[in-house]
Amino acid sequence: MEFSSALAVATLVAALVMAQSLGLEFHDPDGSVGPTFVLLPLIVLLALVLDVIPRAVIRADSWHTIRAAVAEVWRERWPAANLRFMVIGLIGWYVTYASVRNLKGFVPFANHQLYDRDLSRIDRAMFGGHPPAVLLHDLLGTTVAAHVLSFFYIVWIVALPASLAIALVWARRDRISSWWVTAVSVDWVIGVALNFALPTLGPIYDRPGDFAGLSETSTTALQQSMWTERLQVLADPAHTNTVQNIAAFASLHVAIATTACLVAQRAGLHRSIVWGLRAFLAITMTATVYFGWHYVSDVIAGLLLGFVGAWVGEKFAAPDQVVEPEVSELSTADLAGRSARQ
Q: What number of H helices and E strands is found in the chain?
A: 14, 0
* Secondary structure class of 212 (helix, strand, coil): coil
Helix, strand, coil percentages for the chain (3-state, nearest 5)? 75, 0, 25
pLDDT tens per residue, range 230-271? 998 898 887 787 888 899 899 999 999 999 999 999 888 899
**Which of 42-51, 163-172, 188-197, 288-297 comes out lowest in average pLDDT?**
163-172
State yes or no: pLDDT of 329 exceeds 60.
Answer: no
Average pLDDT value for residue range 272-298: 95
Q: Is 268 left (phi over 0), alpha (psi -120 to 50) or beta?
A: left
**CA pair distance 156, 16, nearest whole angstrom:** 28
Task: Please report which confidence band the pLDDT of residue 331 belongs to, taking 50, 70 and 90 as the band edges.
Answer: very low
pLDDT at 326 (0 to 100): 47
Residues 6+ apart with CB under 8 A from 324: 172
Long-range contacts of 60-69 (CB under 8 A, 24+ apart): 60/337, 61/337, 61/340, 61/341, 62/341, 69/337
**CA pair distance 157, 318, nearest whole angstrom:** 26
**CA pair distance 72, 326, nearest whole angstrom:** 11
Q: What's 209's DSSP letter?
A: G
Task: Please report which confidence band the pLDDT of residue 130 belongs to, taking 50, 70 and 90 as the band edges.
Answer: very high
Q: Is 202 left (phi over 0), alpha (psi -120 to 50) or beta?
A: left
**CA pair distance 137, 131, nearest whole angstrom:** 10
- CA 4 from chain centre, in angstroms, equals 15
**Which of 37-41, 135-139, 335-339 comes out lowest in average pLDDT?**
335-339
pTM (two decimals) = 0.83
Tell me which residue of 77, 264, 251, 99 sits closest to 179, measured CA to CA: 264
pLDDT tens per residue, range 73-119? 888 888 888 888 888 888 888 889 889 999 999 999 998 899 999 99
**CA pair distance 217, 211, nearest whole angstrom:** 12
